[in-house]
Structure 1
Amino acid sequence: MTDAAPIVSEEAAGRCGYQGAPGAFSYEACLDLRPWDEPVAFDTFAEAIGALKAGEVGCVLIPVENSTIGRVEPAATLVEQSGLVQVSDAWRPIRLALMAPRGARLADIRTAESHPAALGQCVNFLAGIGVKAVEAFDTAGAARDVAEAGDMTRAAVAPLRAAEVYELSILRHDIQDNSDNRTRFVLLSSADA
């Protein structure tokens, strides 16, 4: 037995859900792949998918696979179990940056915070500079937390756009271990997107 598809209002049809905070890779994917839609942030992948099922958004964009670490979990499993139809997918280059509060120096950084998938993509870089990886719910959420704390020993691993959104300084560009680092995003919809 399958649930009936929710009725999607005109307002919901113009909204694309994603997991994370503004400035996250999924946020960037929404802006680039669905520029006509309003990006809508959710704390978890399950909440984003649930919002689509409830008719609160017209589609969701979810990362399911990365060229460096493989499956992005729990996102890939949630997509498979959602019962929703995959409308399209796109591989996008992922460039990670190490960012910290303005005035921080690389030599002072002790921890780097980010989503586990992003941390897995720059293991060698972080080990090479002697920085401890700290898991957070999201790349941009980590950038926001680092900015709010103002602690010069804390950094975030996130997309460049997150540094702009949260007014952080970039300490190093392109810190991903694989120069061809890419993530596959899938677009899910309960109606034609």
Structure 2
Amino acid sequence: MRRKFLPISALILLLLLLTTSAFASVSYLGPAGTYTEEATILFFGEKESITPATTVPEALNLVKSGQCQYAVVPVENTIGGPVYNYLDAVVNDADLVVIGEVNLPIRQTLLALPGANIKEIKTIMSHPQGIAQSKDWVKVNLPGAKLVEVSSTAEAAKRVSEMGDNTAAAIAASRTAQVYNLSILANDLQYTKDNVTRFWVITLKQNQVQGNERSALVAQGPAQYLPGLLSDISRKGYKVVSIHDRPAKTLLGEYIYVVELTGGKPGELNEVSKKYEKNLKIRILGSFNAK
């Protein structure tokens, strides 16, 4: 009987995950209790060396400076769509690559101080995505409440805890209630139970490893060359999952296209890219696996 062996790329990724479980340092959008922290633990396991950052750019800078090996960044939500400022922070930095992806179901809850009355809530704080996912619920149930954007859902919970104001509430994860000693006033604020946030696991280019489930590339240049690029990619066995266009901030009509794919074989994207190097600036963000 012939033995089946894992592909070299899979062995490398497995080795990476085994070694990172012992000593990897990971930055994430904090403070404690954010969905990003939950996604970080889901990908890397329970870890002592995870470092909360105040912002996503700060989390990425910890990787750039060598203080952390990886960063976990939210890039898209079912309801709110792409998180463009975070997506831009990754795709505009040639030193960064994607080595993994986490898909995390999101359940938004309304948190307030113990003893608070939901009917008396006047201010609701959350991350912009949390507000976008829950605004329909707020409109129906607390139409007079003021919505305030903060850097993260956990930061919103933290502020409510520190303010000592029974009329203030936060939209955040239910697990955040335990972290900041808050009570849950309402569950499932998001307007669909299919609410999922997608996170990328980021590292420096020299630490890149190859997976085989998804790929992403960035192409910058005139839109007229994009159909040909996509056609050639499809002929290599890739399937286009999504395309995001971002202004290149160079010439009118020139954009940065973030193309996400499934299928194909790692390395074949480089072959296609060479064909278009005179007309498009193409960078492979990575071929990686998802959880």
Question: What TM-score results when the alignment is normalised by the length of structure 1?
Answer: 0.90
Within-5 A mapping of 1:1-193: 14-37=24-47, 38-83=49-94, 84-129=96-141, 130=143, 131-190=145-204, 191=207
Matched residue pairs, number?
183
| Deviation of the 1:161 alpha carbon | 1.4
| Deviation of the 1:122 alpha carbon | 0.6
Query: Which residue matches 1:6?
Result: none
Write the distance in 1 (CA, Å) between the matches of 2:172 and 2:138: 13
Q: Which moved more, 1:123-132 or 1:135-144?
A: 123-132
The answer on whether the counterparts of 1:49 and 1:82 sit within 8 Å (CA) in structure 2 is no
Write the distance in 2 (CA, Å) between the matches of 1:124 and 1:183: 18
Q: Secondary structure at the match of 2:84?
A: coil
The answer on whether the counterparts of 2:107 and 2:188 sit within 8 Å (CA) in structure 1 is yes
Gaps of at least 5 residues in structure 2 are 1-19, 210-291
| Deviation of the 1:91 alpha carbon | 1.4
Gaps of at least 5 residues in structure 1 are 1-9
| Deviation of the 1:82 alpha carbon | 2.2
| Deviation of the 1:18 alpha carbon | 0.6
| Deviation of the 1:192 alpha carbon | 5.3
Q: Secondary structure at the match of 1:160?
A: coil
Distance verdict in 2 for CA 1:53–1:169, change over 3 Å: same
The answer on whether the counterparts of 1:13 and 1:59 sit within 8 Å (CA) in structure 2 is no
Q: CA RMSD in A?
A: 1.7
Write the distance in 2 (CA, Å) between the matches of 1:22 and 1:48: 14
The answer on whether the counterparts of 2:34 and 2:176 sit within 8 Å (CA) in structure 1 is yes
Greater Rg by CA: 2
Write the distance in 2 (CA, Å) between the matches of 1:153 and 1:123: 18
Identical aligned residues as a percent: 34
Question: What TM-score results when the alignment is normalised by the length of structure 2?
Answer: 0.60
Q: Deviations over 1:117-165 (max 9, x none)?
A: 1101111001112222111111001100000111000000001111110
| Deviation of the 1:21 alpha carbon | 0.7
